[in-house]
Amino acid sequence: MLRLSKAILRTNCPLNRKICTSTISRGVWEPDYINQPPEIPEYQPLNIQLRGYDYVTLESFARYAHRLSDRLGLDVEVYPVPPRTNSVNVFKPNSTKVADTYKLSNYERIIRLLKMPSNVAPILLDTLQCNMPEGVSMTVKEPQEDEDEFRYVPDLMLQDLFQQVAEIDKTREDRKKK
């Protein structure tokens, strides 16, 4: 029976074409969908947030993460965030007098991954975590609007000009009312 079906499939019979639409090569049946790549789900945009107190180490690791993401074929945006400065006071023993005051700057880089396939995510994140230097912390989360607004440094001159324009408009309105 098997030999008979192979013989029927090898012929160019119109009945054969209607029954089987898949490809047969040397007596092996292969489905049509076997040559199509599988559909891999993608994550929504993700932010990899890198923080550290040492600027050089953080910048070097951010450059490494960006190159690794590019080599994996991901759409990447990297941008810095203005540093946050904290003041630390060291007190003298058993007193309230300040012995020393230190200013610490916390630097931050954000790597935004736009369309990351789900099969690449564990490879990228594990590689980054294994190669992360001391003093650098990594957080992976979805982008938020307040973080995007914080990354822009305000232009003080531009804000002063807007304030002057508002004052001029206010004086014009006051003159029109009189």
pLDDT for res 69: 94
Instruction: Kindly report the pTM of this predicted structure.
Output: 0.64
Output the CA–CA distances (angstroms, integers) from residue 72 to 66, 123, 127, 138, 151, in the order listed: 10, 9, 12, 19, 26
pLDDT digits (tens, 9 = 90+) for 91-124: 999 988 999 999 999 999 999 999 899 999 999 9
Beta strands in the chain, from DSSP E residues, in sequence order = 23-25, 28-30, 46-52, 76-91, 98-113, 136-141
Q: How many CB atoms lie within 10 A of CB 63?
A: 12
Which stretches in the chain have pLDDT values below 50?
1-5, 7-8, 15-16, 18
The first and second tokens of residue 60, run together, are 């070097």
Phi, psi values for residue 29, rounded to 5°: -85, 130
**Closest to 82 (Cα-Cα) out of 151, 6, 162:** 151
DSSP code of residue 32: G
- Please tell me whether residue 87 adopts helix, strand or coil conformation: strand
Where do the structural domains in the chain lie, given as residue ranges? 2-35, 46-152
pLDDT on residue 4: 47
What CATH superfamily is the domain 46-152? Answer: Ribosomal protein S10 (3.30.70.600)
pLDDT value at residue 26: 62
pLDDT score recorded for residue 158: 80
Q: What is the reported pLDDT for 1?
A: 44
